[in-house]
């Protein structure tokens, strides 16, 4: 059995600020990988650019740390070429919903069997405090000095509207919940979005640990995530944000399984012709 | 009347009238009749209407290049004649329905639509036209039936039969017109293969082991994408139409990272969006093959036409400094060979490799011999637990592992990184890694495809070309038959093969022929060899060079 520390990178020089919400995410991810007993050789973490995108630097697994906003196309291709790998695309809210917004939409359409973890701190941290696509209207930032004057992007509602096969939200301050959601997302067959509220302690003075505790609630056990209408209602709530698995459609075809080279031969294209 | 050696047929009509059908079927009939054929098309950026055309050179001798001269003009709509009048000679025969051709002195009336209607529908007019043209040139009548059947093979028997009957009726009419356009048949061409540039690039990719293609459709490169999709079943190719070019390029790089051999096929505007990804490939030392079918820019430019103006784009695409290779095939055969080679070179050196074609090359057909086999070279290693993706080596090439093959972890990072792929801001590591990446250039240069030289060894004037103009220039120089002119053609434009320098040293005059407005190769050569390159023949109107145009331009330059 693997332990969370088996995914540690020895002497890693972690670039995150003390108290950053990313620490909760990395801890949860390592715990989830260990509990699923996944060898590092089987896992590829793909990211874009930003502080969240440094995640694979600190996790012992394969790493593809590419370009800003482009983690999803890269993750999709890696899964196409080698469906035996566990592919996790991980990046921030700007990377995934801003620069990579088009890829976000089209990856949902494809439904590849990958997990998409989005560190959502509702601000641009690495560039020192501009609004992100998820910053609420009216919030004052270093750039939007009179307050943000556009509506925030709602990733959960968009994903449910597009019938994404797994849509969840968690808060990095809730370790057990996050581990459980990560495990389910990785085990889910198909595209799994996990939007993770994660405080930026340096540049977002509004959405703090306390704010997320006050403004979120955990969906009850009785909640039925396969009810799409209900999921949409939950996704568009504005008073308090729901945490948990908000929507699930396990009946969608898996993208890579339909590709021509896998119709009669399940051998990953990557390994064909190599002496295994 | 002696049979002719060559007939040039121009078929012109509106988009949607089936000119491409006529081109496709007629070229096959010509080949099966034991004749050589060269066909090239030009078309407007619209789905219906306007005026498009295809030119077929049909000959008993090999033909490989575009010409202006038209012997027979088949007119299918009202604006065809005016658009092509400059290509007509006093003996050009204009063939078509009375309403289109009656004002021409040399006209022959065939009522294609009426004949087609006698078979039940005017949509059979194309088959009638194919038959008429075959009859006029006395092509093999069995080849007519066979190729019409082949073209319509997916349709009902009734539809196949009626098209064959329409074509045979056309053939009979063609024979009865008494036009002096019968061709001499003199060489066996049945073992040759009719190929166009797009299919050649696609087949070259397959030969190079391509098993992944992700692109966003864009003229004129889309046909390569389509051909690869058709080859996907037989060759196990992963094909994905990406949401945009940015996704396509990132997917292809990640596909190589994971162990595939991937290509994107695009045009200048699409490639502009991929430049960031090219830089990524440079930094993470992951191979990528880019096929770029050039068309005139800037921006949307002339979307369906031809140009050679994206050399600078691929030379300088991507920020930062890293090695790359640019091929520019000069023929359909080279489109095949160099595309295959692009995969081996990309894999070996872990760099971006470009195959730079253009609309003219992609959309032109001619007969080729058996394609040369290019063995696939694969350089992936099985990793051990101490694997370092960016191991510093003497030649700059680090052994490339892939995830899931061996015990090692394959970690690539777009940030500057150490040997393990870990992010670094160390000045020493930065210098080491920049130098390691650039060190590959030495061996890359050693593996250059040398330029092709033709002509006398004691030349005074050296004509220099690159890419798709090769065969047009070759034919023009044969016609010029000047004893002191030689031709140097670059099929690898970057890195400029060092051997080229010796050819320039010997020349008294150097004239570049390029299909762009600034002489992009001339400028590159000037920069590489520190030589003056003031003499340039340039064309940038969106249409390909013809043999006649090159002959005229060289004559004017040299005063011969």
pLDDT digits (tens, 9 = 90+) for B285-300: 999 999 999 999 999 9
Question: Which residues of chain B lie closer than 8 angstroms to A74, CB-CB?
Answer: 250-251, 253-254, 257
Question: Which residues of chain B lie closer than 8 angstroms to A72, CB-CB?
Answer: 247
A-chain residue closest to B260, CA distance: A270
Q: How is residue B363 written in tokens?
A: 């959309």
User: Is pLDDT above 80 for B228?
Assistant: yes
pLDDT given for residue B46 in this prediction: 87
The 10s digit of each residue's pLDDT in A211-231 is 999 999 999 999 999 999 999
- CB of B231 within 8 Å of a chain A CB? The answer is no
**Out of B232, B242, B423, closest to residue A73 by CB:** B242
pLDDT given for residue B1 in this prediction: 58
User: How many angstroms away from the CA of A212 is the closest CA of chain B?
Assistant: 32
Enumerate residues 6+ apart whose C-beta is below 8 A from B152. B159, B160, B163
Pairing of strands A166-171, A192-197: parallel
Q: What is the mean pLDDT of chain A?
A: 97
- Measured N-to-C along each axis, helices B332-349 and B427-446 cross at an angle, to the nearest 10 degrees, of 150
The 10s digit of each residue's pLDDT in A43-73 is 999 999 999 999 999 999 999 999 999 999 9
**Out of B238, B258, B423, closest to residue A57 by CB:** B423
Q: If DSSP codes are grouped into helix, strand and coil, which group holds residue B168?
A: helix
Q: What is the mean pLDDT of chain B?
A: 96
Question: Measuring CA to CA, which residue among B534, B435, B470, B490 is closest to residue B315?
Answer: B490
pLDDT given for residue A140 in this prediction: 95
- Contact (Cβ atoms closer than 8 angstroms) between residue A201 and residue A19: yes
Question: Measuring CA to CA, which residue among B284, B285, B316, B310 is closest to residue B296?
Answer: B310
Residues 229-268 of A with CB under 8 A from B: 259-261, 265, 268
Rounded Cα gap, residues A39 and A33, in angstroms: 8
User: Is pLDDT above 90 for B16?
Assistant: no
Question: Measuring CA to CA, which residue among B148, B475, B202, B222 is closest to residue B342?
Answer: B202
Q: If DSSP codes are grouped into helix, strand and coil, which group holds residue A86?
A: strand
Q: Which residue has the tokens 């190599």?
A: A274
Give this prediction's pTM: 0.97
* Band of pLDDT at residue A241, cut at 50, 70 and 90: very high
User: Is pLDDT above 70 for B264?
Assistant: yes
- Check CB contact under 8 Å for B260 and A63: no
- Check CB contact under 8 Å for B250 and A60: no
- Check CB contact under 8 Å for B405 and A271: yes
- CB of A126 within 8 Å of a chain B CB? The answer is no
- Contact (Cβ atoms closer than 8 angstroms) between residue B94 and residue B104: yes
The 10s digit of each residue's pLDDT in B87-122 is 999 999 999 999 999 999 999 999 999 999 999 999
pLDDT given for residue B560 in this prediction: 83
Phi, psi of B427 (to 5 degrees): -65, -35
**Distance between start and end Cα atoms, chain A:** 25
Question: Measuring CA to CA, which residue among A209, A208, A183, A206 is closest to residue A194?
Answer: A183
As beta bridge partners, residue B292 has B266, B356
- CB of B403 within 8 Å of a chain A CB? The answer is yes
CB pairs < 8 Å spanning A and B? 163
* Band of pLDDT at residue B437, cut at 50, 70 and 90: very high
pLDDT given for residue B65 in this prediction: 98
Enumerate residues 6+ apart whose C-beta is below 8 A from B85. none
User: Is pLDDT above 70 for B67?
Assistant: yes
- CB of B247 within 8 Å of a chain A CB? The answer is yes
Q: What is the mean pLDDT of residues B443-466?
A: 98
What count of Cα atoms within 13 Å lies in the side-chain half-sphere of residue B270?
27
pLDDT given for residue B47 in this prediction: 86
Cα B168 to Cα B27, B28, B137, B367: the distances in Å are 17, 16, 14, 25
- CB of A46 within 8 Å of a chain B CB? The answer is yes
**Out of B236, B247, B258, closest to residue A82 by CB:** B258
Percent of chain A at pLDDT above 90? Answer: 97
**Out of A60, A78, A105, closest to residue B258 by CB:** A78
Q: What is the mean pLDDT of residues B472-479?
A: 98
ipTM: 0.98
* H or E element in which residue B381 lies: strand B380-383
Q: What is the mean pLDDT of residues B546-555?
A: 98
- Check CB contact under 8 Å for B250 and A66: yes
Torsion angle, CA of B195/B196/B198/B201, rounded to 10 degrees?
50
């Amino acid at each position: 059995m693997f332990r969370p520390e088996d995914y540690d990178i020895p002497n890693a020089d972690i670039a995150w600020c003390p108290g950053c919400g990313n620490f909760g995410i990395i801890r949860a991810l390592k715990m989830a990988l260990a509990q699923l007993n996944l060898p590092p050789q089987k896992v590829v973490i793909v990211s874009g650019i930003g502080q969240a995108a440094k995640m694979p630097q600190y996790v012992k697994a394969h790493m593809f740390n590419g370009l800003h906003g482009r983690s999803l196309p890269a993750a999709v291709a890696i899964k196409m070429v080698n469906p035996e790998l566990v592919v996790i695309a991980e990046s921030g809210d700007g990377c995934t919903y801003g620069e990579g917004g088009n890829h976000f939409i089209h990856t949902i359409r494809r439904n590849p069997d990958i997990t998409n973890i989005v560190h959502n701190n509702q601000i641009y941290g690495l560039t020192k405090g501009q609004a992100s696509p998820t910053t609420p209207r009216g919030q004052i930032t270093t750039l939007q000095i009179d307050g943000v004057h556009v509506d925030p992007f709602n990733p959960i509602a968009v994903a449910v509207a597009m019938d994404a096969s797994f849509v969840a939200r968690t808060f990095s301050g809730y370790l057990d919940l996050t581990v459980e959601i990560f495990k389910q997302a990785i085990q889910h067959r198909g595209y799994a979005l996990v939007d993770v509220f994660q405080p930026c302690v340096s540049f977002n003075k509004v959405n703090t640990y306390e704010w997320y505790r006050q403004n979120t609630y955990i969906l009850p056990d009785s909640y039925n995530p396969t009810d799409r209408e209900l999921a949409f209602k939950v996704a568009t709530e504005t008073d308090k944000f729901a945490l948990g698995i908000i929507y699930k459609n396990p009946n969608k075809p898996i993208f890579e399984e339909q590709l021509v080279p896998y119709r009669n031969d399940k051998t990953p294209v990557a390994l064909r012709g190599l002496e295994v | 009347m002696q049979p002719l050696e060559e007939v040039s047929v121009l078929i012109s009509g509106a988009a949607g009238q089936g000119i491409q059908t006529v081109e496709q079927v007629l070229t096959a009939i010509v080949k099966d009749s034991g004749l050589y054929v060269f066909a090239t098309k030009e078309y407007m950026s619209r789905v219906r209407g306007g005026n498009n055309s295809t030119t077929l050179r049909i000959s008993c001798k090999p033909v490989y290049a575009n010409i202006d001269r038209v012997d027979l003009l088949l007119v299918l709509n009202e604006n065809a004649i005016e658009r092509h009048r400059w290509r007509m000679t006093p003996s050009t025969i204009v063939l078509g329905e009375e309403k289109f051709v009656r004002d021409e002195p040399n006209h022959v009336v065939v009522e294609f639509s009426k004949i087609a209607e006698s078979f039940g529908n005017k949509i059979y007019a194309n088959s009638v036209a194919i038959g008429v043209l075959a009859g006029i040139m006395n092509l093999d009548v069995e080849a007519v039936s066979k190729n019409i059947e082949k073209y319509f093979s997916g349709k009902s028997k009734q539809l196949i039969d009626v098209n064959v009957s329409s074509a045979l009726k056309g053939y009979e009419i063609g024979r009865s017109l008494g036009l002096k356009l019968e061709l001499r048949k003199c060489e066996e061409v049945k073992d040759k293969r009719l190929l166009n540039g797009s299919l050649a690039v696609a087949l070259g990719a397959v030969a190079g082991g391509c098993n992944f293609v992700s692109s966003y459709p864009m003229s004129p490169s889309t046909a390569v994408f389509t051909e690869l999709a058709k080859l996907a079943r037989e060759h196990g190719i992963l094909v994905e139409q990406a949401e945009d070019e940015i996704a396509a390029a990132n997917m292809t790089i990640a596909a190589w990272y994971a162990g595939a051999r991937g290509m994107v096929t695009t045009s200048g505007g699409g490639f502009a969006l991929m430049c960031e990804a090219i830089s990524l490939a440079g930094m993470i030392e992951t191979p990528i093959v880019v096929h770029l079918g050039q068309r005139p820019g800037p921006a949307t430019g002339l979307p369906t036409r031809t140009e050679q103006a994206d050399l600078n784009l691929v030379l300088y695409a991507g920020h930062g400094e890293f090695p790359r290779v640019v091929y520019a095939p000069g023929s359909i055969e080279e489109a095949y060979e160099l595309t295959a080679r692009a995969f081996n070179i990309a894999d070996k050196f872990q760099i971006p490799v470009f195959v730079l074609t253009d609309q003219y090359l992609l959309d032109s057909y001619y007969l080729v011999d058996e394609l040369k086999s290019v063995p696939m070279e694969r350089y992936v290693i099985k990793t051990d637990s101490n694997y370092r993706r960016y191991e510093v080596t003497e030649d700059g090439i680090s052994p490339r592992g892939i995830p899931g093959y061996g015990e090692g972890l394959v970690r690539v990072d777009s940030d500057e990184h150490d040997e393990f792929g870990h992010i670094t801001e160390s000045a020493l590591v930065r210098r080491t890694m920049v130098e390691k990446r650039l060190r590959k250039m030495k061996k890359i240069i050693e593996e250059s495809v040398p330029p092709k030289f033709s002509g006398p060894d004691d030349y005074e004037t050296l004509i220099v070309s690159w890419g798709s103009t090769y065969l047009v220039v070759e034919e023009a120089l044969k016609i010029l038959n000047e004893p002191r002119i030689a031709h140097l053609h670059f099929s690898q434009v970057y890195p400029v093969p060092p051997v080229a320098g010796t050819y320039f040293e010997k020349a008294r005059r150097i004239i570049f022929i390029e299909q762009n407005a600034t002489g992009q190769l001339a400028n590159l050569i000037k920069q590489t060899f520190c030589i003056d390159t003031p003499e340039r023949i340039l064309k940038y109107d969106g249409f390909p060079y013809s043999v006649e145009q090159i002959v005229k331009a060289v004559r004017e330059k040299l005063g011969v």
